[in-house]
Amino acid sequence: MSYIIKNATLVNEGKTTLASVVISGEKIERIIVGDEAQLNASDSWKNYEVIDAKGLYLIPGVIDEHVHFREPGLTQKADIHSESCAAVAGGVTSFMDMPNTQPQTTTIEALQQKFDIAAGKSVANYSFYLGATNDNLAEIHRLDPKKVCGVKLFMGSSTGNMLVNENETLVRLFQESPCLIAAHCEDEQIIHENTVCCKDLVSKGEVVPDAGIHPFVRTTEACYKSSAKAVDMAAKFGTRLHIMHISTKSELTLFRNDIPLQDKKITAETCPHYLTFCDKDYETKSFAIKCNPAIKMASDRELLRHALVDGHIDTIGSDHAPHLWHEKFTDDYFTSKSGFPSIQNNLQVMLNLHQQGLLSLTQIVQLMCHNPAILYQIKGRGFIREGYYADLALVDLNRPTVIKNADMLYKCGWTPYDGMEVNSQVTHTFVNGKLVYHDGTVEETINSKPLEFDR
């Protein structure tokens, strides 16, 4: 099928322009700036399906570099098919999935298994991280940087045995990794000491074990100490390092904003929940917003928002991490799981910040579409350009709605944004030129591809 999206307002490469986009097969064939006169004058496009996008905004498909789709091994929570359906409903056309599955993705064979699963199940384009451990450097050496998005490093707090805490291993990893290192930075010792202290206070009846203690267990100090160590090592060895889910204002001092993104060796990501919630929201949202690193103070939120504009933060990822309801909403802080689903709503949440005057549309597209493509060196995606893959999303900025759990496509069926008022809606999503989502309906015929990298 070939399409003409006419009369759209393109948000692309720092500009907002009235234009029409011609899609032929998997690729963008033509971009026609201005009115539709050229379309009407051409016989070659008469058999194309026309979508009149008057009043809608056309953006490149969102590239979410940070998801936990739970397959294999944890499919009672989510799977690649269900979460990729939710992704395209939120304008996300490509994702990069984390290695803390069962089995953990710490071998080339386990990595290939995930690619094979996605090839038959994913509605969105995909790549997968190989997880670093204290003893799998040989596996990391086998990576093909043109086919794999990166190496995930739990530098501090971790899941299972994926904590890399042996200094010799860290040195070799930072020296020898053939791919970008994406790091989760929280200091394990600080978190352990804080946990012991909180448990003691709870046992004495001095503290209630509710979600509000989370930022006092996973503190700013824990984040900064680990992030600073990672930045120091990357600077020493010239490593390509991307620190994920920055949650504190203090960590922003570790990153540069005075050089172009393509020249940066050390970069930073934050997530919409750190830009939306703060410590005061634990009282009403409770365990629904418990995640790692913890959502912290209002002052952290405000400076993270500012960092999106001034260039200290380079990308927005979701950290989409579904859990079943009974795993999250317990009576005890120490047993409630950290993480939540959000990929279907993240673009809407960011567009709310635009409508509050905090970010321009071009800045949102830069952070969620262009910058991930530049930072990961993704081939042929992340921009609306002739010859690029037609990964696109149409957005209506004048469709007020309230986010409801019942509307979610997630397998776990809930979101921390339940009840939030938003003023935008994704109406259409294209993946590799195929219309995969339109006004609430996902076309589940698989048309996705593995991401390729120009490295």
pLDDT at 46: 78
For the chain, percent of residues with pLDDT exceeding 90: 92
Degrees, nearest 5: CA angle 51-11-358: 130
Q: What is the pTM of this model?
A: 0.97
Segment 183-204 mean pLDDT: 95
pLDDT at 44: 74
Quick check: 45 pLDDT over 90? no
pLDDT digit string, tens, across residues 229-259? 999 999 999 999 999 999 999 999 999 999 9
Quick check: 98 pLDDT over 90? yes
Please give the Cα distance from 61 to 143 (Å, whole number).
27
Please give the Cα distance from 166 to 189 (Å, whole number).
14
Quick check: 190 pLDDT over 80? yes
Quick check: 43 pLDDT over 80? no
DSSP state for residue 299 in the 8-state scheme: H
pLDDT at 40: 65
pLDDT at 38: 67
Distances in whole angstroms, Cα of residue 25 to Cα of each of 251, 283, 305, 390, 428: 44, 50, 39, 9, 17
Please give the Cα distance from 441 to 428 (Å, whole number).
9
pLDDT digit string, tens, across residues 323-334? 999 999 998 999
**Lowest-confidence segment of 24-38, 200-214, 333-347, 417-431 by average pLDDT:** 24-38
Q: SS3 for 48-84, per residue?
A: CEEEECCCCEEEECEEEEEECCCCCCCCCCCCHHHHH
Quick check: 387 pLDDT over 60? yes
Structural domains in the chain, CATH included, are: 3-58+389-401+421-442 (2.30.40.10), 61-376 (3.20.20.140)
pLDDT at 42: 63
pLDDT at 158: 59
Give the pLDDT band (50/70/90) at residue 446: confident
pLDDT digit string, tens, across residues 116-173? 999 999 999 999 999 999 999 999 999 999 999 999 999 876 566 788 888 899 999 9
pLDDT at 84: 98
**Lowest-confidence segment of 56-65, 209-218, 393-402, 439-448 by average pLDDT:** 439-448
pLDDT at 37: 60
Please give the Cα distance from 109 to 111 (Å, whole number).
5
Place of tokens 């070939």: 2
**Lowest-confidence segment of 37-51, 90-104, 234-248, 410-424 by average pLDDT:** 37-51
pLDDT at 403: 97
Q: Are strands 3-12 and 57-60 parallel, antiparallel or unpaired?
A: parallel
Segment 85-107 mean pLDDT: 97
Please give the Cα distance from 425 to 440 (Å, whole number).
10
Mean pLDDT of the chain: 95
Segment 331-340 mean pLDDT: 95
